[in-house]
Amino acid sequence: MKMGRKITGGKYHSLKKKRLYERKGQARIVKLGKEKKKSLRTRGGNIKSIMLSAEIANIYNKKTKKSKKAKITNVLETPSNKFLARQNILVKGAIIETEAGKAKITNRPSQEGNVQAELLN
């Protein structure tokens, strides 16, 4: 039988609607480009700074244990979805090409308002 149906063919009806706090928010896509940020009011009246586009990443080098800022030139690959790399979308786990070399994004730019990355090689 089709999903969401009883063995007799009847439909299952949900017991309640989603509350406002249970609903999904609008998808925030961080693109490669001139830096653009936005502030959102969150639950409890707090303010969250989100990123809409970025061109600079904070690169951490494991060997020297130091970090520096570097300009992002390209998104090479994204393990979660190969189409995101084609569109130069920055997500956690994406491998980016910077002036310092290849780096892997370690945070969620859409949630935190900056791009943190770890140098590969």
pLDDT band at 5, cuts 50/70/90?
confident
| pLDDT tens-digit series, residues 69-121 | 999 999 999 999 999 999 999 999 999 999 999 999 999 999 999 999 999 97
What's this model's pTM, rounded to 2 decimal places? Answer: 0.79
Q: Report the 10 Å Cβ neighbour count for 1.
A: 8
121 against 48, higher pLDDT: 48
Residue type, 85: A
Third-level CATH fold of 24-119: 3.10.290
Q: What pLDDT was estimated at residue 14?
A: 84
Q: What is the DSSP letter of 79?
A: S
